[in-house]
Chain A
Amino acid sequence: MALEKVTLGKSITNGLRKAMEADPKVVLIGEDIGKLGGVFRITEGLQKDFGEERVIDSPLAESGIVGTAVGMALRGYRPVCEIQFDGFVYPAFDQIVSQVAKMRARSLGALKIPMVIRIPFGGGIGSPEHHSESPEAYFAHTAGLRVVACSNPEDAHWMIRQAVACDDPVIFFEPKRRYHDRAEYDTAAASAPRGLFEANVIRQGTDVTLVGYGPVVKTMIESAAAAEAEGTSIEVIDLRSLSPLPIDTIVSSVRKTGRLVVVHEASSFLGMASEISAQVTEQCFYELEAPVIRVGGANIPYPPSRMEEEFLPDLDRILDGVDRALAY
């Protein structure tokens, strides 16, 4: 046992460090990740300890980061790419969608691309445009990629390790406004294998199921506590994996509660909630007491930061969604 209180950000740092210690083929590449330790300091200290060849400050070009990482992966390395902010992944979109995702299938399984692409995502940090986006659905929509999002320090630690160990490419979303959240956990046990692609039932409940991932998980937990005070019992599920979708966990919960509210910061139109809603409707049509409710960002480009509170799902909007589900 090694109980420690660690932030979510440092949990990823520690996870990366352990992954690098365990496997000399693990290399990190991204903008400003060396001396600076990345703009969020997630790779802080790693270049000092592992050298410039394993912690690579890339030129300012995201297609270059991901494209050269594909080459390194083909050559037997396990690259972990850092994209500085969600809104800056798009120059690499072609490499991710057309190259990373398809390489294995095209080679009939001869090739593998064991690559992680880390993307800090989501809003709530008061930034100008391109620094607050939630682009996960683009990637979850793309076959050949696995997509996960961590929501708390302990998960962040073991999830990044498992993502690095995975032989498929993993898009790893990090909830940037939760980087400084702290939690105490057993950092020694944190490397024990768990299911990277399994959802986590955080809280049991009987009236409504609440599903989300990344930054909104904390808000969902707070909403469930607030609802309990008013006599509503909410089951909270942290999805963790967006692709593959751990639909069974959601389905068994909805069979119990009959009501589902799905929350994310991304615009609700064709967001993760849309797919979850469709699958739950297909599997639980007779158990559902209400339509699946989506609580998401508005269907607009991310607004100026002084308006972002109006855009992001907060406790009130989640509870409003719960009320709407209960109204049936």
Chain B
Amino acid sequence: MSDKVVAELHEPTPSVGDGGPDMIQLLTPEGQRVSHPDYDKYVADLTADELRSFYRDLVLIRRLDAEGYALQRQGELGLWPSLLGQEAAQVGSGRALKPHDFVFPTYREHGVGFVRGMDPQSSLQLFRGVSQGGWDPAEHNFHLYTIVIGAQALHATGYAMGMRMDGNVGTGDPDRDTAVICYFGDGASSQGDVNEAFVYAASFDAPVVFFCQNNQWAISEPVEKQTRIPLFQRARGFGFPGVRVDGNDILATYAVTQHCLDEARNGNGPLLIEAYTYRMGAHTTADDPTKYRVSAEVEEWKFRDPILRLKSYLAHEGMADEAYFTSVDEEADRFAAELREGCVTMKTMPGETMWDHIYAEEHPVMEAERSAYLAYKASFEEAN
């Protein structure tokens, strides 16, 4: 293990809010592999190549996030919701998916989108204000971002019900059996829609995995405002299994998500995963967390950094060296430059396209308003 990595990790891990004994962990914050009787098998076959590619994903999406933040500060984006600190939860769960599984994200899952193969520009469009969504969900089985808290939980459930109706669950054919994963936050767990989704998913044995990233905060409100018991225990009351995983441990999130997706594909859904993690940044660039949380808390969570943890493990196991880490950083630089370029050159659609795509069938009001708009615009041209 390189001295640099060791030095970065020598501080002790704080004991507060550590997820408790129920939390599944395969890599300690120091990057040490700990074994787990139920989950080891999901990571046992991972090759060094695959593990390095996990690392690469983590680094690239952290870079994507840093660029999103910077682009907002430079006025290129209106807003940016940061994923900083949640990289392992997103890559670990995202990499556990099969291409034919389907994802319902919130507004923060840039990392999941990335590992699904989405063009990284995609997640910028909404925040640049050039689109209210901007992609065809079928391309990567990655639904549009949902800003209205919790609404997508019902969509995910219904989509999963449809998969069951199609007979794509529990056939034993790995190319056919499919699951849905639904992302939401700790705050969202209070919404009626999320609780109704739990009820529906349970009643209809829907092949859906609810993936709650408990990043400890819903804007300014700590998770204690939303729940008295650990969130994963909520599932039990709805009649399905819940599990808490260390959301900053990519091996554990990968393993636990694999397991739960398998269960769902086999017809044993729904399931709830609570990924215990931390929102290292502000809620969005519009937020000022100094108003409501102490920096000591953030400092403590720095010791659980998801990237350093994997880096340390890879170095320790001799699966990667400084040259490799440097090459990933260089790739991240190129990636960032492309992202910035793509963002600033992203086109704003002309005004008359406002009326496009609103109805599937012809609608007279759309036509009339578009014509009136064009005539109005033309009247300025004539005046000049």
Contact = CB atoms under 8 A, between A and B. Distances in A.
B48 interface: no
Interface in A59-103: 59-61, 63-64, 87-88, 90-91
Given A31-B221, A36-B219, A305-B129, A129 B365 contact: no
Top 6 A-B residue pairs of the complex, sorted by shortest distance between their CB atoms: A305-B129, A310-B351, A36-B220, A60-B187, A59-B190, A306-B129
A91 B191 contact: yes
Interface in A273-328: 298-308, 310-311, 316-317, 320
A88 B188 CA distance: 13
B148 A88 contact: yes
Interface residues of B, number: 43
30 contacts: A31-B219, A32-B221, A35-B220, A36-B292, A37-B291, A39-B287, A57-B221, A59-B187, A59-B226, A60-B218, A61-B192, A88-B148, A91-B192, A91-B193, A128-B132, A130-B148, A269-B365, A298-B354, A298-B369, A300-B358, A301-B132, A301-B358, A302-B132, A303-B132, A304-B126, A304-B129, A304-B348, A306-B129, A306-B348, A307-B348
A60 B378 CA distance: 47
B132 A61 contact: no
Contacts of B130: 304, 306
B286 interface: yes
A24 interface: no
Contacts, number: 113
Contacts of A36: 219-220, 291-292
A302 B78 CA distance: 16
A266 to B, nearest CB: 15
A64 B189 CA distance: 13
Contacts of B192: 61, 63-64, 91
A271 B193 CA distance: 29
Interface string A93-125: 000000000000000000000000000000000
Contacts of B220: 32, 34-36, 57
Interface of B: 78-79, 107, 126-132, 147-150, 187-188, 190-193, 218-221, 225-226, 286-287, 291-292, 348-349, 351, 354-355, 358, 365-366, 369, 373, 376, 379-380
Nearest to B379: A320
Interface residues of A, number: 39
Nearest to B227: A59
Contacts of B129: 126, 128, 304-308
A252 interface: no
Contact of B191 (A57, A60, A87, A307): A60
A204 interface: no
Nearest to A33: B220
Nearest to A38: B220
A135 B150 CA distance: 20
B219 A311 contact: no
Contacts of B366: 299-300
B216 to A, nearest CB: 14
Residue among B132, B292, B369 with max Cβ neighbours from chain A (10 Å): B132
B222 to A, nearest CB: 9
A269 B363 CA distance: 14
B225 A128 contact: no
A249 interface: no
Contacts of A59: 187, 190, 221, 225-226
